[in-house]
Structure formats: C-alpha cells, structure tokens
Amino acid sequence: MRTGIRSDDLSTRHTALAGRWDSQPPEIKRPDVFERLTHCDRLLTAKELGEILSISPKTLYSYVTRAMIPHFKIESCVRFRGPEIAEWLRRRAA
C-alpha cells in the first residue's frame, strides 16, 4: 500500500493557494488596475491602494508627504479616490 499525496490533490491545493483570480474559469478576465480604480466607489486606504498598485503603503505615504499623488486627509488618516488615482496614473504614463 502506497501512501502520499495524489497529483489531483496537489493541483487543487495549488489552485487554492494561487489566489482568487487564478482559480476563476479562463473566460473570466481579471480587471486591470485602471478598471479597478475607475469603478471603485469608496475611498481607499494606503494599504488597499498599495495592494492594487503593488507598492508599499510606506511609498504611498512618501508620495503624500511630497504632494506627488492626489489624496484626502481626514484628521490624520490619508485616503485616496480610485478614479482620481487612475487619472493620475494615465497622466504620468504619457
């Protein structure tokens, strides 16, 4: 009797670990950064925006300090509006 992990168990585990977009059927397209930001209907934290842009919140706070990125301050909290960030990215890419 052979014990161990079956190959179909590994593929199921790999799919579960790969993330929610990789486990979707191929006909479902992952939205790009611009789509995600443009359709965002709430203010984003530095952590949330950092995850979308794949940069650290620390970098975003640095941009805020140097007035390089559009943002809102609510008391000591910094928030970002998705559509404004998308437009900011488009201008910087040109």
The ranges assigned to domains in the chain are 31-93
Q: What is the reported pLDDT for 30?
A: 72
Q: What is the reported pLDDT for 26?
A: 60
Q: Pick out the chain residues at pLDDT < 50.
A: 5, 7-21
Q: What is the reported pLDDT for 93?
A: 87
Assess if CATH 2.60.300 describes domain 31-93.
no
DSSP reduced 3-state for 19: coil
Dihedral, 65, 69, 74, 76 alpha carbons, nearest 10? -20
